[in-house]
Amino acid sequence: TQLLEQSPQFLSIQEGENLTVYCNSSSVFSSLQWYRQEPGEGPVLLVTVVTGGEVKKLKRLTFQFGDARKDSSLHITAAQPGDTGLYLCAGVPTGGGNKLTFGTGTQLKVEL
Amino acid sequence: ETGVTQTPRHLVMGMTNKKSLKCEQHLGHNAMYWYKQSAKKPLELMFVYNFKEQTENNSVPSRFSPECPNSSHLFLHLHTLQPEDSALYLCASSQTRALSGNTIYFGEGSWLTVV
């Protein structure tokens, strides 16, 4: 079983649309991070959330950590082609030996 | 440019070859990592080095041999690989091994194809 499940796995939308990506687990995490990976590049950290219920905004991106610290969501408003990429959530499970575990990923394509 | 540089960016090798991947970080970090990224699978942590000492080997086959001569350089020596080892190998670094409160910086990766 995968510790961190992301949905949807693939998403293709038009420019200007809104979307939400989910990261779910049955485990509790002390912190959770979101990364974006563009083709030919390594993942780049977007945000870290550490408090249950925490909401962070990064321009058109809104990140939320679930109250129970088991899940997170990423909402993009008015998507642009530059948002295209692989979105990865990653977390450090409580009692998980300080190991960062990555989710299954969501491949987003935003078309003109 | 994340401050973590990997070479080569692309490598094709035969199953009997010996090759090495190189990683260099210019961030003054003390922890370095090797990850494997395969299609349709989550990023897999392979090795962790903290202050040049290997602190984690995530059940990686012995045909992968890491080397960390100093805190700025990390190598992954490859020999007698299998086609299923074809993947993107990502190097990363962080200030310390403690992940809480630390950001991991990834290199651009080395695409490995085993034929």
Residue A35's φ and ψ, nearest 5 degrees, are -125, 155
The residue among A46, A102, A107 with the most chain B CBs within 10 A of its CB, best to mutate, is A102
Q: How confident is the model at residue A96 (pLDDT cuts 50, 70, 90)?
A: low
**Quick count: other Cβ atoms within 10 Å of Cβ A110?**
20
DSSP state letters, A31-48: EEEEEEE-TTS--EEEEE
How confident is the model at residue A8, as a pLDDT? 97
> Omega of the bond prior to A43 within 30 degrees of 0, cis?
no
Residues of A with CB under 8 A from a CB of B: 2, 4, 30-31, 40-45, 48, 50, 88, 90, 92, 98-105
Q: Report, as ranges of residue numbers, the positions in chain B whose pLDDT lies below 50.
A: none
Query: What's the whole-number mean pLDDT along residues A14-32?
Result: 95
Percent of chain A past pLDDT 90, that is, above it, reads: 82
CA-derived radius of gyration, chain B: 13
Looking at residue B24, its pLDDT comes to 98
